[in-house]
Amino acid sequence: MAPSAPRTRAASALRMKQIALDNQGRTIRRLRAQLATERRGLATMKKELEDTQVALEASHKVIAGLTEIGLSMSKKIERMKVKKQQVRANHVECHQKFQARIHEAEDSMQAQHLLIEDLVDEKDSLLQTIHGLQEANNAPAPFDGDWEEEPEEEPEEEEMEDIPLGEGEIDDD
């Protein structure tokens, strides 16, 4: 049995090497499959990162645009606030001018009212004086208290009115 033993050992060693080579081949195939899967995953991740980068750049552009719009709106708001203050100041000034005009008109009306009262008092005084003079001259009273204004008529010619002569006056007729 001696001659077959080395063959058996050699065959056994070859078989063991073949099993080891088969195991290594399977491991290599499995590792290659894992490597391909990892590459596909990395390619997908790379594509997602590129998409994220593009989206991030677009977001930055949008943010920059919105910031610019916000600054523009802030400037407009400030201008509107200034304009509102100017309008308010103009309104206050106009209000004060109108109040001053109203006070002037009220003062003028009061002055006119006082003047009218003075004129009425003076008219009453003149009427009393005329009445006193008429009583002194024994003339009829032309004013009986019912005063009605007659519409003015346009005279064709001015006529001289007969003025009653008092004592001591000379008649040139």
Task: Supply the pLDDT for residue 8.
Answer: 87
Task: Supply the pLDDT for residue 1.
Answer: 45
SS3 category, 113: helix
Q: What is the pTM of this model?
A: 0.40
Is residue 137 within 8 Å of residue 166, measured between CB atoms?
A: yes
Is residue 90 within 8 Å of residue 83, measured between CB atoms?
A: no
Task: Supply the pLDDT for residue 50.
Answer: 95
Task: Supply the pLDDT for residue 145.
Answer: 56
How big is the CA angle at 147 (ends 141 and 152), to the nearest 5 degrees?
105
State the 10-residue block means of pLDDT for the chain, 173 residues long: 68 92 95 96 95 95 95 95 95 95 94 94 92 82 56 56 55 54
